[in-house]
Amino acid sequence: MSVLVTGGAGYIGSHTVAELVAHGESVVVLDNLRQGHRAAVLQAPLYVGDIRDTALVSEILRKHEVDTVVHFAAHSLVGESVQKPLDYYDNNVNGTAKLLSAMLENGVKRIVFSSTAAVYGEPVRTPIDEADPTVPTNPYGETKLAIERMFRWCHDAYGLQSVSLRYFNAAGAHPTLAIGEDHSPETHLVPIVLQAALGQRPHVAVFGNDYPTSDGTCIRDYIHVMDLASAHRLAVARLRSGDGGCEAFNLGSGTGYSVQQVIDVAREVTRRDIPVQQAPRRAGDPAVLVASSGRAKEVLGWQPLYNDLATIVASAWNWHQSHPNGYADRTKPEEA
Ligand code: UFG
């Protein structure tokens, strides 16, 4: 019995692989390495390939006796999704349909899915509850929501069991610093702020200071990547217990911090100068996104361990200081 992690060479995927392995799971990874890093896959065989390759997926499911899939593989850049919506529909929606076909053909009926706060669009209230309206404002969120809905129909038709985890803003690194965040290009606030602290960027562009928030900058809910990883482990356990059906959970800390607060905390943590430049609003950014994660705590038994922003930023800073060029120049483990 093992777990297939698609996209397991990516940021959240690789931390989830490490978490599952640390808890005694046998794990196998499928990743096309478009965004992921070979060196991020520790202690698990890696297949380099596409989730739309049903023959390859079937082979992996059979060879490794997979009983549950944890599915990260996707295009995940909001801005890019607006420019190339069809790529997002093909890779994310069609890719997941193909993955499900291979799973069902091989009798695998459990999937934990990497969903997003982007399924909500502009929230109707704060904090956001899972039952709140889902009205995505970009193709990325739209494709993730379409996949969640696909799970519902596959539950009714084929008995597919799914847990969709709607993440808010992931940050931080593995405590051993063996893995961390390394996107190219980097678009996320925390790594950008820390790259500025390291002098790798001249400044941080703050996208908008006229939002209806206390300091005018956007408020987000930052959650440590290891806390996301533990939620995936608990979701696998829930599916195996047979209690699940077709469920979705928010994953956030429940506390919002503004862009300005993130920069201030990063200045304290790093004791470095972080130059800032005001920039226009970024299209599609809601003013405030904060999760209500009570359901994940109650139903999954999830207990986030890294609850304050300074701890999360310090964890990310440790990684960035020790890996200023990310995974570049690292020794790569063997391909399966
Ligand atoms: N920001 C800046 N400057 C930057 C980068 C970001 O001011 O250089 C701001 C953004 O405008 C936003 C906040 O920092 O207000 C956080 O931005 P991120 O890009 O780090 O994260 P997002 O909140 O945009 O994105 C996250 C996830 C997405 C998900 C989205 C849902 O990373 O996958 O939430 O809205 F789709």
Nearest-CA residue for atom 3 of ligand 1: 206
Of 79 and 265, which is predicted with more confidence?
265
Residue 225, ligand 1, Cβ within 6 A: no
Q: Which residues contact 283 (CB under 8 A, 6 or more apart)?
A: 79, 82
- The CA-based angle 146-152-158, given to 5 degrees, is 125
Question: What is the residue-averaged pLDDT of the chain?
Answer: 96
User: How far is it, in rounded angstroms, from Cα 138 to Cα 83?
Assistant: 10
Residue 336's pLDDT band (boundaries 50, 70, 90)? very low
CA of 169 to the centre of ligand 1 (A): 7
Task: Give the 3-state secondary structure of residue 102.
Answer: helix
Residue 189, ligand 1, Cβ within 6 A: yes
Per-residue pLDDT at 330: 59
Element (DSSP H or E) covering residue 236: helix 225-241
Residue 169, ligand 1, Cβ within 6 A: yes
Per-residue pLDDT at 335: 42
Q: Residue 288 corresponds to which tokens in the numbers above? A: 């405030």
Burial class from Cβ neighbours inside 10 Å (0-12, 13-18, 19+) for residue 285 reads middle
Residue 282, ligand 1, Cβ within 6 A: yes
Residue 285, ligand 1, Cβ within 6 A: yes
Q: Which residues contact 51 (CB under 8 A, 6 or more apart)?
A: 6, 30, 57, 71, 73, 95, 96, 98, 99
Between the CA atoms of 16, 18, 20 and 23, what dihedral angle is there, to the nearest 10 degrees? Answer: -140
Per-residue pLDDT at 226: 98
What single-letter DSSP state applies at residue 332?
P
User: How far is it, in rounded angstroms, from Cα 93 to Cα 149?
Assistant: 10
Residue 243's pLDDT band (boundaries 50, 70, 90)? confident
CA of 2 to the centre of ligand 1 (A): 34
Q: How far is CA 118 from CA 12, 201, 278, 286, in A?
A: 16, 27, 24, 10
Question: Please, are residues 73 and 51 in contact by the beta-carbon 8 Å criterion?
Answer: yes
Task: Give the pLDDT mean for 233-241.
Answer: 98
User: HEC string of 18-65?
Assistant: HHHHHCCCCEEEEECCCCCCHHHCCCCCEEECCCCCHHHHHHHHHHCC
Nearest-CA residue for atom 20 of ligand 1: 188
Q: Residue 202 corresponds to which tokens in the numbers above? A: 């001249």
CA of 136 to the centre of ligand 1 (A): 15
Q: pLDDT (tens digit, 9 = 90+) per residue, 143-201? A: 999 999 999 999 999 999 999 999 999 999 999 999 999 999 999 999 999 999 999 99
Q: What is the DSSP string of 151-190?
A: HHHHHHHH--EEEEEEE-EEE---TTSSS----SS---HH
CA of 219 to the centre of ligand 1 (A): 10
Question: Please, are residues 288 and 219 in contact by the beta-carbon 8 Å criterion?
Answer: yes
For residue 140, the ligand 1 atom closest to its alpha carbon is 36
Greatest C-alpha distance within the chain:
57
Residue 260, ligand 1, Cβ within 6 A: no
Q: Residue 14 corresponds to which tokens in the numbers above? A: 């690789």
Q: What is the pTM of this model?
A: 0.97
CA of 83 to the centre of ligand 1 (A): 17
Nearest-CA residue for atom 19 of ligand 1: 188
